[in-house]
Amino acid sequence: MFKNINEIKTLKEKKFFVEKINLHYKILLAFSQKNNLKFDVQSIKNIDLNTIKRIIQLNVITNKEDLTKLNKVLKTEDFNNFISSVNFSLINKKEIGNILDNLDPIKRNKKQNLKKNEEKPKLVDFFCGAGGLSLGFIQEGFHIDLANDYEDVCIQTYRYNHPEVPENRIILGDIRNVVNDIDELVTSDIDGVVGGPPCQGFSSANQQRMIDDPRNELYKYFIKAVEKITPKFVIMENVRGMLPYAEQVAEDYNNIVSIKNKKKYTYSIAYKVLVSDDFGVAQKRHRLIFIALRNDIVGKNNITPKEIFEQIEVSNSKNKRHILKDALDYIKPLEAPRVKNMTEVDDEVTGKKIDFNLFKGTENSYLNSINNKRKIDFVFNHKARFTNDVNLEIYKRLDQGNDGTNSKIADIMPYKHRNHVFKDKYYKLVANKPSRTITAHLKMDCHSHIHPFQTRSITPREAARIQSFPDDYVFLGAYLKTYMQIGNAVPPMMARGVARIIKNYIL
């Protein structure tokens, strides 16, 4: 998980390295506070040999001499914090248990080499993002053979949260390069290919096939990947706005002819707009889902993609519906920071990147579902966003369901001359309904997602809960980048609902 200090070449690599070093320290600091254990941070002069061995085990350094370089890269405060946290982890090893496993190369390696991984249906996830789609399938017993995204921060988040997948199977890079090398990267039979390729060429002025727009080249490479890998099924998701061009996508899948082991394979496909709250997610998020089945699977199991959708609908009818309040309950209340540039600074009042959970994480049916019935000891990314005086006043005046056109804020609304363009620039969420869609635009501002009870916008953790990520799913990277990762993700509970039906026909 750590890039060895000697391998760091770029400023970006250094930033991720320092972030993970601080993650190690802050997890243990929160653990010590939760359990009333002594955690002393002091100037480190003579570092214990066992501590050095442990730092080498973590792949942070190669030898004792590298400590000087580590001190230089981290600077004194972070260096002392990290060394102290390693000391603490050795002294309290039994009490700590598995809370550091995702940062431990030895523990990660054990998870990656489990025999049962080979017995699970295998998945390739393109445009994997932070891993929401993968997580849903993993929860239903799938194993990720390969994941790919072009955003480095997404890859860092994915690698941390999916220790069962070898780091070299989570690839940062352009899908065009990955697909060109796919024969070398994918050497075993793959059960499914999933992903959400960006499709942008939706111009009504273009009378040609919209899907052939040059801006949709990445989608074409997704199709090319399917042709090369020849999986048993494909799940492709996209925005609802793609629906008018869905038949063009279906045509592309119907035209796929793959040759594998001297056999010819073709596909059948169906598509449908699915809504996340039907899956029990505390959010009304519409996504256009395509399901393609290899025709030998269709014949063998007497099932069609259309019938898969019908079974998903039947399964969803049994789900408990959830509302926004279910996602926002049982988490520490926060106040918005009133000083700029404090989003990366931990604070008891405005929140922390890592804090111990004041609750269990299973207090209501929604939290119980997203946390998979596990007690969660820590809460990550629960940090409120800076709010200036004008926005704070707007937040106070609006009632739930009010937007930027409301008369209560007419005298201070800074964008009222553009209300006809984006009246939802400001919107206070409604607690007793499923949340409006969590989007990547939250990285720009969060005025569209004002907390229904507290005078602030929602935190990244609250957005992640609304998206159905578990409380211990850590989003790495700069504060605003966490909103982007969360907003772009497929809700894991939604992915799980699809995976639950699909797996019945590919084993």
- Is residue 42 very low, low, confident or very high in pLDDT (cuts 50, 70, 90)? confident
Are 387 and 422 within one domain? yes
> Which of 128, 154, 199, 446 is the catalytic position?
199
Residue 55 in any domain: the answer is yes
Mean pLDDT over 179-207 rounds to 81
The model's pLDDT over 183-195, given as tens digits with 9 standing for 90+, comes to 999 999 999 999 9
In this predicted model, which residue has the larger pLDDT, 260 or 131? Answer: 131
- Domain at 480, CATH number: 3.90.120.10
Residue 337 in any domain: the answer is yes
pLDDT for residue 43: 81
pLDDT for residue 428: 97
Phi-psi region of 95 (alpha: psi -120 to 50; beta: other; left: phi over 0): alpha
CB 235 within 8 A of CB 502: yes
Are 316 and 337 within one domain? no
Residue 6 has pLDDT above 50, yes or no: yes
- Domain at 158, CATH number: 3.40.50.150
Are 277 and 332 within one domain? no
Are 64 and 17 within one domain? yes
- Is residue 205 very low, low, confident or very high in pLDDT (cuts 50, 70, 90)? very low
β-bridge partners, 263: 260
pLDDT for residue 204: 43
- 53-56 long-range Cβ contacts below 8 angstroms, 24+ apart: 54/86, 54/89, 54/90, 55/83, 55/86
pLDDT for residue 419: 62
In percent, the amount of the chain with pLDDT more than 70 equals 95
Are 101 and 122 within one domain? no
In this predicted model, which residue has the larger pLDDT, 168 or 422? Answer: 168
Residue 346 in any domain: the answer is yes
To 10 degrees, what angle do helices 479-488 and 152-161 make?
80
The model's pLDDT over 429-452, given as tens digits with 9 standing for 90+, comes to 999 999 999 999 999 999 999 999
In percent, the amount of the chain with pLDDT more than 90 equals 88
Residue 261 has pLDDT above 70, yes or no: yes
The model's pLDDT over 385-403, given as tens digits with 9 standing for 90+, comes to 999 999 999 999 999 999 9
pLDDT for residue 413: 87
Are 65 and 119 within one domain? no
In this predicted model, which residue has the larger pLDDT, 445 or 419? Answer: 445
Mean pLDDT over 213-226 rounds to 87
Are 266 and 340 within one domain? no
Q: Max CA-CA distance within the chain?
A: 72
Report the alpha-carbon distance of residue 80 to residue 61 in Å, rounded: 15
CB-based contacts of 347, cutoff 8 Å, min separation 6? 337
Expressed as residue numbers, the domain containing 289 is: 115-322+493-505
Mean pLDDT over 416-424 rounds to 62
- Answering whether pTM is above 0.85, one says yes
The model's pLDDT over 305-337, given as tens digits with 9 standing for 90+, comes to 999 999 999 999 999 999 999 999 999 999 999
Are 452 and 408 within one domain? yes
Are 266 and 312 within one domain? yes
The model's pLDDT over 468-500, given as tens digits with 9 standing for 90+, comes to 999 999 999 999 999 999 999 999 999 999 999
pLDDT for residue 201: 55
- 161-166 long-range Cβ contacts below 8 angstroms, 24+ apart: 161/102, 161/130, 161/131, 161/135, 161/473, 161/474, 162/131, 162/134, 162/135, 162/138, 163/1, 163/101, 163/102, 163/107, 163/108, 163/111, 163/112, 164/111, 164/112, 164/114, 164/117, 164/138, 165/112, 166/112
Residue 231 has pLDDT above 80, yes or no: yes
Residue 192 in any domain: the answer is yes
pLDDT for residue 463: 98
The residue out of 70, 105, 140 marking a domain boundary is 105
Mean pLDDT over 194-217 rounds to 67
Q: CA Rg, the chain, in Å?
A: 24
Are 182 and 261 within one domain? yes
**Exposed/middle/buried for residue 348 (C-beta within 10 Å: 0-12, 13-18, 19+):** exposed
Question: Is 154 marked active-site?
Answer: no
Q: Which two tokens stand for residue 437?
A: 């869609």
Q: Which two tokens stand for residue 267?
A: 């596909």
pLDDT for residue 40: 86
Q: State the Cα angle at 296 between 293 and 298, rounded to 5°.
A: 50
The residue out of 105, 123, 156 marking a domain boundary is 105
Mean pLDDT is lowest, of 61-70, 98-107, 155-164, 212-221, for 212-221
pLDDT for residue 203: 42
* Distances in whole angstroms, Cα of residue 9 to Cα of each of 37, 59, 69, 156: 37, 16, 13, 16
Are 161 and 251 within one domain? yes
Are 132 and 152 within one domain? yes
- Is residue 4 very low, low, confident or very high in pLDDT (cuts 50, 70, 90)? very high
pLDDT for residue 417: 63
To 10 degrees, what angle do helices 305-316 and 492-502 make?
120
Residue 110 in any domain: the answer is no
**Mean pLDDT, the chain, as a whole number?**
93
CB 499 within 8 A of CB 140: yes
Pairing of strands 192-195, 122-126: parallel
Structural domain count of the chain: 3
The residue out of 51, 84, 105 marking a domain boundary is 105
Residue 460 in any domain: the answer is yes
